[in-house]
Chain A
Amino acid sequence: MNDHDLALARRGLRRSATFDPATIHDIQRAAATGIYDIRGGGAKRPLPHFDDLLFLGASMSRYPLEGYRERCGTDVVLGGRNAAYPLHLAIPVTIAGMSFGALSGRAKEALGRGASEAGTSTTTGDGGMTPEERGQSKHLVYQYLPSRYGMNPDDLRSADAIEIVLGQGAKPGGGGMLLGQKISERVAGMRTLPQGIDQRSACRHPDWTGPDDLTIKIAELREITGWEKPIYVKVGASRPYYDVKLAVHAGADVVVVDGMQGGTAATQDVFIENVGIPTLAAIPQAVRALQELGVHRKADGVQLVVSGGIRNGADVAKALALGADAVAIGTAALVALGDNDPRLDDEYRAIGSAAGYYDDYQDGRDPAGISTQDEELAARFDPVEGGRRLANYLRVLTMEAQTIARACGKAHVTHLEPEDLVALTIEAAAMARVPLAGTDWVPGQGR
């Protein structure tokens, strides 16, 4: 109990676990405004996560690699199953799809700069491809979304990979949203929308409705792009075992599974917090689907990219150990660019937030100039400096993952395996399908 709660308790006042202060505030806000809360970011509620896993490390029975001396590879190849030109990435950490519109053009440019410097890919979003993003991204994944805003065959052919988006972790089953204050003249032009309206884009693709149709759609995209480019299918984590199987059957080269901690630029809070499953629970289901289809970690296999709550190299290593081939970061990449910088705390407070808490990406008043279309605010952000910071962060993630992999005796980060992991909680053990630490008990596995 903190000092404030202790003082209240001494006065005989007890906080309700059901109607806590945040809940009471939500009810009061709803009653005052008559509309649900919209915000950015991912699920904030406590969830079983990578923090609930530990690596065992080498000891008598395992042989570690020398840190800083013995090589521990980090490169990954994505999309070689059907594409003539798969992506060869230097590190297993990619940048997730975030739209121009949600982010400023300069922020998108910085993501491209940082990713390229680190040898990895970045991804467009629900708003088309900008020249500054294409120009600064060595490996650019072009998202194919239900809205098809800005979708055109020239950009499709200039992309290095295509990602068909069925959903995202923050809102599986929901469509895009960009509120009027961010629909600037340029954003409106790229999306063929009236300037300043509230954009609520479709949640379903307009010209296919199920996995059989998706098979035909993927074949069409391959025909249009000459069978050159890897085709990803991205799903929000809800039923990953079935979704991954269907995506592979439909012809995906890469499947992206985004857990509920994955961020969004603008979605209803009730949606973010109550729909989807945690990243930790999604990975083993996705891996099982790939294994049953015989395409997991095979030369001509289908790669799994996992996103949603990746923050440090330990998270990267744990995702890879559970079977992901790579991870994608969104929220963490924005923080690396300068989002929620404590030096801007006064300005965050002036708009009703605080450094470390800012998630009103829908609002367009971002003091860091990242999630805005306001030219004055956007001009505050230096894409070269932002790109450098992102590259630094990506290097740290990679080195941290290598540190753990070497300690587990692995010559490549993707050699990490579930056997290297234990769980701290019964919930995490059941979800990740690794033993509870100090036991050989995997809940639900009958042993």
Chain B
Amino acid sequence: MDALTVPTREVDLATTPLRTLNALLQGREVTGETPLGADEGVTVVNPRGAHAVAVGLDAPRQVRVAGHVGYYAAGMNQRADVVIEGNAGVGVAENMMSGSVVVRGNVSQSAGATAHGGLLVVEGDAAARCGISMKGVDIVVGGSIGHMSAFMAQAGRLVVRGDAGEALGDSIYEARIYVRGEVASLGADCVAKEMRPEHLEELAALLKAAGFEDDDPAAYTRYGSARTLYHFHVDNASAY
């Protein structure tokens, strides 16, 4: 188990209601509970696949979840650094604004969906729709990602150390995708692009931030929007 670098309070979800945990983490008043100190970290034990663990945080707080979580873990995170020492269900870090979320295991579909900022690291694999409608978040996946990932991805970077499933980046806007392995197929308007020096540089920084600094950025391929579908035209109708 990772150790937090700050004084830590343990919250046991086997005996503490989820609502109490989230209220504490969000800085709301909870009857019978001492508010968290400004620098106080939280370790959540016995999450047992609970949904909506550590959602709506808005403080620079370290949170460690010792186990598997269900849907929407760390949803809408702002400023907090959340580590999940297990697998995560659907929509981990959905709509994250800032801060970071690290998942030591695998994640289900829609990881980082619509997230506007921050860093999501998945050390294992991510299922379908990883980074769907991403709006500025950085996502680094240690393994592979499923189909329809980065669908309508608007902004941000998605890095995949393994392979990508079908229809990668379908209808992508200005997000950038880096994949080291095979891509089963590209979605509409998504194309492979040249790796210029600035891309090698930003990819190296992302890999380092995610703990994969030994990877060679040159082994990756960049994908992005061909921008041919930005304005609807009947000649492109067959692309949809």
**B40: Cβ under 8 A from any A Cβ:** no
Interface size on A, residues (CB 8 A): 33
Q: Are the C-beta atoms of A206 and B114 separated by less than 8 Å?
A: yes
Number of A-B residue pairs at CB separation under 8 A:
106
Q: Are the C-beta atoms of A226 and B72 separated by less than 8 Å?
A: no
Instruction: State whether A153 and B51 are in contact (beta carbons under 8 Å apart), knowing that A198-B232, A206-B113, A213-B71 are contacts in the complex.
Output: no
Chain B: which residue is nearest A197 at the CB level? Answer: B230
Which of A192, A220, A223 touches B116 (beta carbons < 8 Å)?
A192
What is the bound-complex CA distance between A206 and B103, given in angstroms? Answer: 20
Q: Are the C-beta atoms of B95 and A151 separated by less than 8 Å?
A: yes
Most chain B CB atoms below 10 A, which of A34, A153, A206, A208:
A206
| Distance of A297 from chain B, by nearest CB (Å) | 29
Chain A: which residue is nearest B58 at the CB level? Answer: A153
Q: Are the C-beta atoms of B129 and A223 separated by less than 8 Å?
A: no
Chain A, interface SS category? loop
**B48: Cβ under 8 A from any A Cβ:** no
What is the bound-complex CA distance between A207 and B188, given in angstroms? Answer: 21
Q: Are the C-beta atoms of A202 and B152 separated by less than 8 Å?
A: yes
Chain B, interface SS category? loop
- Residues in B neighbouring A34, C-beta threshold 8 A: 234
**B173: Cβ under 8 A from any A Cβ:** yes
- Residues in A neighbouring B155, C-beta threshold 8 A: 192
What is the bound-complex CA distance between A446 and B26, given in angstroms? Answer: 56
Which of A152, A180, A194 touches B95 (beta carbons < 8 Å)?
A152
Q: Are the C-beta atoms of A148 and B133 separated by less than 8 Å?
A: yes
| Segment at the A interface, from B15-23, B197-205, B214-222 | B15-23
Chain B: which residue is nearest A34 at the CB level? Answer: B234
**A227: Cβ under 8 A from any B Cβ:** yes
Chain B: which residue is nearest A228 at the CB level? Answer: B28
Chain A to chain B contacts (Cβ below 8 Å), 30 pairs: A147-B133, A148-B95, A148-B114, A151-B114, A152-B76, A152-B95, A152-B116, A153-B56, A153-B58, A153-B76, A156-B76, A192-B155, A194-B173, A198-B230, A202-B133, A202-B152, A206-B151, A207-B94, A207-B113, A208-B91, A216-B71, A219-B51, A219-B52, A220-B55, A220-B71, A220-B72, A223-B52, A224-B55, A226-B26, A227-B19
Give chain B's interface residues, CB within 8 Å of chain A: 18-19, 22-23, 26, 28, 51-52, 55-56, 58, 70-72, 75-76, 78, 90-91, 94-95, 97, 109-110, 113-114, 116, 129, 132-133, 135-136, 151-152, 154-155, 173-174, 230-234
Knowing that A207-B91, A207-B132 touch, tell me 5 more A-B residue pairs with CB under 8 angstroms.
A35-B234, A153-B95, A206-B94, A208-B90, A217-B72
User: What are the 3 closest A-B residue pairs judged by CB atoms, nearest first?
Assistant: A224-B56, A207-B91, A148-B114
Give chain A's interface residues, CB within 8 Å of chain B: 33-35, 147-148, 151-154, 156, 180, 191-194, 197-198, 200-202, 206-208, 213, 216-217, 219-220, 223-227
